Amino acid sequence: MSRTARTRRTRILTRVGALTAVAALAVGCTSNTATDDDGDDDAPAAVSDNDETGDTVVIGFSGPAADHGWLAAINSAAESEAEKYDDIDFRLAEGTNDPSAQISHVETFINEGVDAIVLLPTDGAALTEVAIEAMQAGIPVINVDREFSSEFAARTTILGDNYGMGVSAGTYACQLVEENDLGDAVIAEIAGIDSLPLTQDRSQGFEDALAECGQDVDRRVAAEFTVESGEAAASNLLQAASEIDIIWNHDDDQGVGVKAAFENADRDEFFFIGGAGSANAMRWIQEGTMEATVLYPPTQAADGVRLARLLAQEKGLADLVQVEVPRRVVLNAPVVNADNVEQYLPLGFES
């Protein structure tokens, strides 16, 4: 029996459960219409519920090609969320990894006069100019995951927390060190593509969190967010280190290959922590062959659709004292382990 199957945690990081915070923001809403009570024409008036059917709004969505499990989940979640509302006319552009094609998608949305655009850009910098054009045309743009290079390109930005992923993974690793009396633990990291800022942010968060408990990364390799690269990187790691206490793998899609390397090498002496929150990872947690995974929420575009609807219907958030839809929303990166995996399994994406 592997170490992960023998040891179960009872403590959960304070981050757990906060993933749904943004979704919860959409529970109540306000309408930006005048009130008759105080004579202030600019005062917002609360109405019953954000889900109450309002005027039909046209929302355009464009995202990258679904060539990765997480991206496929992003796209399908956006479409599924739109289908829940009778007052959304959803326009879905074909996924692409070509910035020029995506620029054309946005230009089409502008020409069609949609009420809002939800955009996960293939390249934030490349899509900035056309997003600004949409904003100047009076169409609010909701920027998802990959940021534009100008504040003027989006009304609202919804992001996962890459640095927070690293912090969550590192904090949980520290917890494992303490609970299992590992002392100066041998901790390894299997990163994604090193040239990407998101990978750099995840690694920095992991390093910073480990430093808080006097630990550091002893072995580090990088993969490319693919099954094949994950298996190759993990194989190299295992060959270089005869014993490891904890491994954090940044991405659960490449984790399929990582886990295959573990099995091929017949190695299971370590706690295995994943990243992103795939259904595979959550099933491995249920089986006891994986310790935990850190979510990078695949709900970002779905949350973007909800906020686009509020903006297009000139509503805000009654849950905040400031009733306007926020300019920036950063989703939490909770740890999922055996204690709470059932709660998060419905959000798991297939690799």
Q: Domains, the chain, ranges and CATH?
A: 3-14+162-295 (3.40.50.2300), 18-160+298-331 (3.40.50.2300)
Average the pLDDT over 229-243 and give the result. 97
Tokens of 107: 């230009």
The stretch 100-127 carries a mean pLDDT of: 97
How many Å from the N-terminal Cα to the C-terminal Cα in the chain? 26
**Rounded distance, CA 116 to CA 61, Å?**
9
Q: Are 103 and 127 in contact (CB under 8 A)?
A: yes
pLDDT value at 19 more than 50 = no
Provide mean pLDDT across the span 38-50: 47
* Cβ atoms of residues 182 and 176 within 8 Å: yes
pLDDT band at 43 (very low <50, low <70, confident <90, very high): very low
Do residues 155 and 327 touch, judged by C-beta distance below 8 A?
yes
Higher pLDDT, 5 or 121: 121
**What's the predicted TM-score (pTM) here?**
0.81
Amino acid at 221: V
| Separation between Cα atoms, residue 230 and residue 186, nearest integer Å | 20
> What pLDDT does residue 321 have?
79
Mean pLDDT of the chain: 87
> Exposed/middle/buried for 117, CB within 10 Å: 0-12, 13-18, 19+?
buried
